[in-house]
Structure 1
Amino acid sequence: MELGCRYWDSLRSAAARLSGAWSVVGKVLAGWRAGEVVGTRQASAQFLMWASHVHLRAGRLTAARSYAERSCRVLKLGVPGSNEQHTGGVLGVRCVRQLGSVAMWQGDWAVAERLLLEAKECAARSCGGDPIELASSYNQLGILYKFVSRFDDAADAYEKARERLTAARFEDHPMMAAVLHNLGGLAFSRGDYASGQVVAERSVRLRATFRRAGEPEIAADKAALGALLAQQGRLDEAARDFEIAMETYARLFGGNHPEWAVNANNLAVVEARRGNHARAEQLLNQALAVKEKALGPDTVDVATTLINLVDLHLLTGRMQQAKVLWEKAEAIAHRQTSPEHPINRAVSERRSKFTGL
């Protein structure tokens, strides 16, 4: 079964705060298009980038990319991904980095890498080597490289991010917590769960120095730590961390929040490993319903939970039901992602189960 833990802190922490703001964004966008919102190019680009974040968190990838591209055009950065030299300063770096992040979520790996490398070079060239912007760019590159299983490149990018923060004496900065969080994710992907637990716990402790218990960033760290504990067989501890995260998201955003569903999915995996199949199925169905409503039925997050339902149905001998769910997951994966995407690999690994059915 697939744990839905996503070590993409730069997206999670910002998006959790933006996810409830869509009605406001829609009204301001309407005014912006009508010419009612007047401001500098920088203000317009900042707003467009913010709108891109909201769309991305809601799973509307095409819209997220469109707004990110528009933010770059407003700053007259040229065509992102071209050979033009970008000189948009800090905001320009952030706009290009956002566009690279969206491309990553779309599975457009080559474009994502080119954009994120541009953002990194621009941070070094036009931001005076700002350690936060450089570290943020290296961190995002690390996320991309981990996602496409280039683990050595990911480790190098994360370490460069950490080096720049340490050299600038930003060991206690929120970006350092993000980098440590993502290093835990890299260890998770490599199967080095004990080492991942060490850095994940450091991230939890650091984050607690500038975030209060019950905030979404703390919940994200708890969820990440829970995934590492689950893979070490420490199921009770993992379940507790997932439950804390679920309680946090339910309290802050209601029980229909996508992050609540991600953690419900993960708790279901733990329950299945405990042998609590009925409880696991209940949680997966709840997670699926929330994801379909909040993100849409044709998203990668939905496919992840469908795959877990497939595994649960296979485990309990319900082959025909499993095949129907697998076909849905396969269709989503093929429409939404590249062949190299992890969800496509998960679908392919289960194809042989249904031969002859």
Structure 2
Amino acid sequence: LWLPDRFKEISPVPVHSEQSVSGLLSQALTALEAGDDETARTLAARAEELSTDALALANSALVHGYVDQHAGEMESALQRLGHAAALAADHRDVPEGVSLYLHATMAMATVYRVQGRYTPAEQLLVAAVGRVEERATAEDIVAAYNELGVLFKYSGKFEAAAGFYKRALDRLSGTTSPELATLYHNIAGLAHARGDYAAAEDPARKAVAVRTEALGPDHPDVAADCAALAPILLEIGEAGEAESLLRKALGIFEKAYGADHYEVGIATGNLAAVMHQSGRPEEAKARYERSLAILERALGSQHPELAPVLNNFAQLIRETDPHGAQAALERARLSLVSASVEESHPTLMAVNACLSELKNQK
């Protein structure tokens, strides 16, 4: 099963610029959060036209890059975000410049991660953090540590991921920051990926509790925490609670995002796994197929995040359709190898082991 990680919500970096530019950028992000990409793009472009200093222009390019990313225009997003980072890099002697530089670099790393290009994402963000770590605000550096933890988890470098999550938690020690929920969510996901399900349950439940208190029980971010807790519960024998949480999360996701959203795809794949383990193969098969269709539309046909669903689907059909199972496993293996994950990555190891078993059966 696959636990999607959580990231810092996008927000405009406050800079000393014309009020009209700041207002336009705030309106652009409001439109973006509402799903109105075209209005957000128009507002960000207007802010760029009105910017009269380098930091204001960097902030405008940053928000415009967010719009491109949200619209799936990844190469354009990388260009705009790179421009924002370059402009801000020349002003790392002031707090606004440091914050803009780190935000733009994190956004570029996120684009690379979404594309499954983990190595350049890691190299970019590690270098950026090294340059501004001592001058960045606690909030910004916690977000950067979290992103690095996620990247290292995805590529199978689990010790490095754990180290960055710990550094982020240390920075938040003694606070009631809502970012604690994000870190608990991701720490649980890392423990799950390492197969330490007992260690995963407590932080996963903490994430649900912290976020529910902050946002209420029906918020999509709370649903995401519940959807991440469910696979952990399944592994420790609590299939009934796991299924209940996933069905509730799916209802919230579909209402908030629509039926073809990434979160719906991940939760559907995990619900299929619950059905699979509960001895309901026909229901599981239909859910796996729906999950794969959604994720292919959202991510592309060879993205590494399809690999866990492909692997689970192959386990379901290997007895009745060994050729189909092998094709799914080969596809999963290619997506992981293309993303340069570690050879010790659990999903890659599981895929390789199953492929070997299928070949030996011939």
User: Which position in structure 2 is the counterpart of 1:9?
Assistant: 6
Q: Distance in 1 between matches of 2:125 and 2:48?
A: 33
The answer as to 2:122 corresponding to 1:125 is: no
Distance 1:261 1:57, change over 3 A: farther
Q: Distance in 2 between matches of 1:208 and 1:283?
A: 28
Residue identity over aligned pairs, in percent, reads 25
Deviates more, 1:193-202 or 1:146-155: 146-155
Secondary structure of 2:134's match? Answer: helix
Q: Distance in 1 between matches of 2:351 and 2:67?
A: 28
User: Which position in structure 2 is the counterpart of 1:232?
Assistant: 236
The answer as to 2:320 corresponding to 1:317 is: yes
User: Which position in structure 2 is the counterpart of 1:81?
Assistant: none
The answer as to 2:98 corresponding to 1:89 is: yes
Distance 1:208 1:13, change over 3 A: farther
The answer as to 2:167 corresponding to 1:155 is: no
Q: 2:221 aligns with which of 217, 221, 233?
A: 217
Verify the 8 A CA contact 1:12 1:220 in the aligned structure 2. Answer: no
- Which amino acid is 2:327 matched to? V
User: Which position in structure 1 is the counterpart of 2:58?
Assistant: 45
Distance 1:112 1:297, change over 3 A: closer
Deviates more, 1:291-300 or 1:131-140: 291-300
Deviation of 1:173 after TM superposition, in Å, equals 0.8
Deviation of 1:221 after TM superposition, in Å, equals 0.7
Task: Write out per-residue CA displacement over residues 160-213 of structure 1, whole angstroms, 9 at most, x where no aligned residue.
Answer: 2111112xx42x111121112122122212222122111111121111221122
User: Which position in structure 2 is the counterpart of 1:69?
Assistant: 82
Task: Write out per-residue CA displacement over residues 242-267 of structure 1, whole angstroms, 9 at most, x where no aligned residue.
Answer: 11111111111111111111100000
Distance 1:265 1:106, change over 3 A: same
Q: Distance in 1 between matches of 2:355 and 2:139?
A: 44
Verify the 8 A CA contact 2:191 2:197 in the aligned structure 1. Answer: yes
User: Which position in structure 2 is the counterpart of 1:305?
Assistant: 309
Aligned length, in residue pairs: 338
Distance 1:333 1:163, change over 3 A: closer
Deviation of 1:328 after TM superposition, in Å, equals 3.9
The answer as to 2:201 corresponding to 1:197 is: yes
**Gaps in structure 2 of 5+ consecutive residues:** 12-28
Deviation of 1:144 after TM superposition, in Å, equals 2.5
Deviation of 1:237 after TM superposition, in Å, equals 0.8
**Gaps in structure 1 of 5+ consecutive residues:** 79-83
Distance 1:56 1:338, change over 3 A: farther
Structure with bigger RCO (C-alpha 8 Å, 6+ apart): 1
Q: Distance in 1 between matches of 2:287 and 2:39?
A: 32
Q: Distance in 1 between matches of 2:57 and 2:132?
A: 21
